[in-house]
Amino acid sequence: MMAINLFDIDQATRNMMPAPDDLRQRMQYLEIGPADLALLRQIHPLLRSRMQSVIEGFYQHLLNVPALRQLLGDDRAITRLRHLQSAYFHELTAGDYGEEYVRNRLRVGLVHQRIGLAPVWYIGAYRKYLADLGPLLRDLLRDRPQDFLPTYAALFKIVNFDMGLALDTYIQAGRQELLGLKNYSEQIISSMPSGVMVIDDDETVRTVNQSMLLMLGVQGDRSAQICYRELVADPTLRQHIAEGLRQRTYRGKVTVGLPEPLRHLRCCLSRTLLDNQHRLLLIAEDITEPMQARAELRDSEARFRAAFGQAAVGLAQVSCDGNWLRVNRKLLDIVGYSEAEMLQLNLSDLVTPEDWEIDAPLMRGVVAGDLQSSSREKRYLCKDGSDVWVKVTLSAMRPGADQPSLVAVIEDISQRKQFEDELMHVASHDALTGLANRMLLLDHIGQAIAQARRHQHHIALLFLDLDRFKTINDSLGHDAGDRVIVEVGRRLRQAVRAVDTVARLGGDEFVVLLADLPQERIAATMAQQILAVLFEPMLIHGHELAPASSIGISIYPKDGEDAKTLLKNADAAMYQAKSMGRGDYQFYNSEMNASTLHRLTLESGLRHAVERDELQLTYQPQVELVSGRIVGVEVLLRWHPEQQRLVMPDVFIPIAEETGLIVPIGEWVLRTACSQLVAWRQAGLPDVRIAVNLSARQFRQPGLDDMVSRVLADTGCHAGCLELEITETVLMERPDSAAQALQRLSDMGVRLAIDDFGTGYSSLSYLKRFPIHALKIDRSFVRDIPYDADDAAIAGAVVAVAHSMGLSVVAEGVETLAQCEFLRGLHCDHAQGYYFSQPLNAAALASLLRDGLVTGAQIGAA
Ligand SMILES: Nc1nc2c(ncn2[C@@H]2O[C@H](COP(=O)(O)O[C@H]3[C@@H](O)[C@H](n4cnc5c(=O)[nH]c(N)nc54)O[C@@H]3COP(=O)(O)O)[C@@H](O)[C@H]2O)c(=O)[nH]1
């Protein structure tokens, strides 16, 4: 049995309660009058004793009907109903039919209606009361038979009154249900997001919900009962509606776009039997947002497709097991496959097995999410069998619920690789000959040593230096020298195997690395062959040259176990070969004389002295003998190799001369000295001249004047403040070209001095040919004056003749007051020596300049 909400029942009963007038009218209509009420009150106490048997019979009757038995429920429910029935019978004849009585009747009727008791059973029940109460009344009124009929009529009236009230509850409850259902469906329709419109055949809108009005852009609350055209402006939709209304059965769909604001409606129209009439049902759905979203998606997909297809890098989607799923044009261009061919391939098909061994775990790492991405440079194998350098970056792609896949970005880096190779080639090869340079040679030696160590064999280094190459350079010029070097390189390359390395270390130095040497003597054979092929005449600029060379050989492992040692020892052996007569080869020997090795060590260190900042300048004052003023400083070079003792110039200058290192070193000296002079001047110190020594090789170096002028310009040093010292010997070697060189320097305003004057073989008169400004009397003539009469006479003569030629004179190596006094007596202009000052560093010399006078000069002057 359904559950009844009593509160709900009371509420409904209150709403159904007839007005008092209505009740009065009902009573009148049923002709219920005071006499009836009096009769019922009379019989009321009599009925009470017999009522139980009436109720018993009544329920027996009900339970005989299966449909009612189901409604009445179990025994407990029936007992409760019997109790209620007894109360009803009590009220029925009580003669009081006021408001409370009516409310009870309505309540009972409503409960019965709610539990689904059809009116037919209800009416049957009233019939049963009247049928059972008739004989009972006759019996009870047997003493007053004249009252039986009026009493039964009164009972009949009041039962009809009850029946009317009960049926009212059915009618009203049914009506309320219908109303509720109507409201319910109207609420559903009006709150539906879809638009709903029902149109009658006469084009009247029967129903339209708010959503539909909104979709159609109709302002305000337009109710139904108007022609659909007043609501629908779109011609396409109107056309479909008209079509739907014309046909008896119709079903159609149309999507229309409405302007301002732009929206899209998907409309379904169907002829439907509604309320017994064929009407047209229009249901509309606003698909603007999904359409826009679809359009945006299409747009973004199109953009993605365009970007993917036209990307300047290769792009691809790859399955988790490496199959190409989607590839762009650039990737196809890179590898040369068609799209169809690529989609049949796997990542592993484009790489070597060695590369795949590295790539496969990386790919798995990206798929598993252990790696965010992997990026590697490798070679892709193209369709035509060639390969191309690419950089491949793989990252995971997890779009929604789709199977995870990978995105591959493939950049063609072949140009960069080629550029890198070229750079590497430039960095590792000699520009002139194309041979390996020192860096690559050291690398190859390292590799050869590793191999030799594994296979227990030897390697040999042949250090080769052309004999008298400098002469070729000096006499035929640099271009010819370069051609000789190139030809030597070519011949060396031809003389050895492909596995051997030929390198040029610079200048005329070459090294041949013989890797995998079965026997040491083969190195000697190779050296002989090389000497022979190089000695073959070569035609350079119309000159037939046959450059002899010297070769030093070192053997791994006995002469060294690393590249640098082997190279150093081959160099030492070459030097030995040269010193033993040139044009031959020499094996390295650990007992090679220590001075040779020392010299080699110095030479090798000196090559890096400038870049390692190991060179220093000292400055020795030159004093005017008359005044004791410092008028100049001679610049003297020192070399202080890291963690070694100071090396004096008479030790390293000859090596620098011989190796040509004097040229860059000399420029460094000049530049540093000029900068220092400018710095002193800027610090407000008194003006002095600087005297810088020029070595023989420097002096002969083409472009000396250009270099000097460049340094003066770069440093801001005035030419007149610079004095260049050239030894007498250098001048006399090639007097004509020396005169020209000196002239060019003199024309620039630079002062020139003859150093070590007196030690060579020049005559003073010969010096007239040179545009010089000063003579420096060698300290060997100063040392014994004033006591040695010859030296004193020479010094006096030099001063006198120099003055007669307009030259000033500087005496070197002045160590004593006596020497100083004597020279002053000779009217020698300037002097320099330990008597005045040792060579000093820049800071010490600056404080001396600040004081104005040197101690010795002061003593001398005193
Ligand atoms: N080409 C270049 N040659 C240079 C440069 N710097 C120096 N040299 C030459 O090296 C030679 C040795 O020089 P150094 O050891 O510096 O000796 C000089 C003085 O220290 C030394 N001297 C100075 N006064 C005295 C003294 O009273 N007694 C004494 N016994 N020696 C003294 O004489 C050297 C200077 O000689 P000189 O140049 O002839 O004036 C030397 O030949 C330098 O020229 C350089 O940068 N480039």
Domains and CATH numbers, the chain: 1-192 (1.10.490.10), 292-417 (3.30.450.20), 435-592 (3.30.70.270), 615-861 (3.20.20.450)
Q: How far is the CA of 748 from the centre of ligand 1 (A)?
A: 26
Contact 438, 509 (CB under 8 A): no
Angstrom distance (rounded) from CA 368 to CA 248:
63
Query: What mean pLDDT is reported for the chain?
Result: 88
Q: Would the CB of 755 count as within 6 Å of ligand 1?
A: yes
pLDDT bin (cut points 50, 70, 90) of residue 62 is: confident
- Partner residues linked to 374 by β-bridges: 394
User: How far apart are alpha carbons 317 and 406 in whole angstroms?
Assistant: 6
What distance in angstroms lies between residue 636's CA and the mean position of ligand 1's atoms? 6
pLDDT at 829: 96
Would you state the pLDDT for residue 640?
93
Cβ of 636 less than 6 Å from ligand 1: yes
Tell me phi and psi for residue 369, to 5 degrees.
85, 5
Pairing of strands 615-624, 630-639: antiparallel
209-213, 608-612, 668-672: least confident range: 608-612
Residue 393: the pLDDT is: 95
Cis peptide leading into 261, omega within 30 of 0?
A: yes
- Closest Cα to atom 2 of ligand 1: 693
Token pair 């007043």 in the structure block, residue: 230
- How close is the Cα of 720 to the center of ligand 1, in Å? 22
Closest ligand 1 atom to the C-alpha of 656? 1
Closest CA to 441 of 568, 535, 529: 568
Indicate whether residue 752 lines ligand 1 (CB < 6 A).
no
Kindly report, residue by residue over 466-520, the tens digit of the pLDDT.
Answer: 887 877 877 788 888 999 999 999 999 999 999 999 999 988 999 999 998 888 8
Most distant pair of Cα atoms in the chain: their distance: 201
Residue 458 is predicted with a pLDDT of: 93
Closest approach atom of ligand 1 to CA 618: 16
- For ligand 1, say whether the CB of 634 is within 6 Å of any of its atoms: yes
Q: Is 669 in the pocket of ligand 1 (CB under 6 A)?
A: yes
> Can you tell me whether residue 281 is helix, strand or coil?
strand
Residue 653 Cβ < 6 Å to ligand 1: yes
Q: What does the pLDDT read at residue 690?
A: 97
Q: Which two tokens stand for residue 757?
A: 């004057």
Q: Please tell me the distance between residue 831's alpha carbon and the centre of ligand 1 in angstroms.
A: 14
CB 74 within 8 A of CB 141: no
Q: Where is average pLDDT lowest: 71-75, 303-307, 669-673?
A: 71-75
Residue with CA nearest ligand 1 atom 21? 813
Ligand 1 pocket mutation pick from 636, 838, 854 by most atoms within 8 angstroms of CB: 636
CB distance 617 to ligand 1 below 6 Å: no
Q: What is the mean pLDDT of residues 53-76?
A: 84
Report the distance separating Cα 129 and Cα 152, nearest Å: 11
Give, in order, the Cα–Cα distances in Å from 679 to each of 210, 685, 715: 95, 9, 10
Verify whether ligand 1 is closer than 6 Å to residue 57 (CB atom).
no
Q: Other C-beta atoms within 10 Å of 396: how many? A: 17
What would you report as the CA-atom Rg of the chain, rounded to the nearest whole angstrom?
64
Could you give the CA distance from residue 149 to residue 141 in angstroms, rounded to a whole number? 10
The pLDDT of residue 224: 61
Which residue, judged by its Cα, is nearest atom 29 of ligand 1? 813
* Ligand 1 atom with the shortest distance to the CA of 694: 1
Regarding the beta carbon of 580 and ligand 1, being less than 6 Å apart is answered no
pLDDT score of 862 more than 50: no
Contact predicate 485/433, CB 8 Å: yes
What percent of the chain clears pLDDT 70, i.e. is strictly above it?
Answer: 95
pLDDT of residue 765: 64
Instruction: Tell me, in angstroms, the distance from the centre of ligand 1 to residue 812's CA.
Output: 9
Taking the centre of ligand 1 as the mean of its atom positions, its distance from the CA of residue 749, in whole angstroms, is: 24
Ligand 1 neighbourhood includes 728 CB (under 6 angstroms): no
Q: Which atom of ligand 1 is nearest to the CA of 692?
A: 46
ipTM score assigned to the predicted complex: 0.94
Q: Which residue has the higher pLDDT, 670 or 71?
A: 670
Ramachandran sector of residue 116 (left: φ over 0; alpha: ψ -120 to 50; beta: rest): left
- The values of phi and psi at residue 736, to 5°, are -65, -50
Q: Is the CB of 812 under 6 A from ligand 1?
A: yes
Q: Give the angle subtended at the CA of 751 by the CAs of 748 and 752, to the nearest 5°.
A: 115
pLDDT tens for 707-764 read 999 999 999 999 999 999 998 878 877 778 888 899 999 999 999 999 888 766 556 6
Contact call for residues 552 and 527 (beta carbons, < 8 A): no
Separation of 650 CA from ligand 1 center, angstroms?
Answer: 8
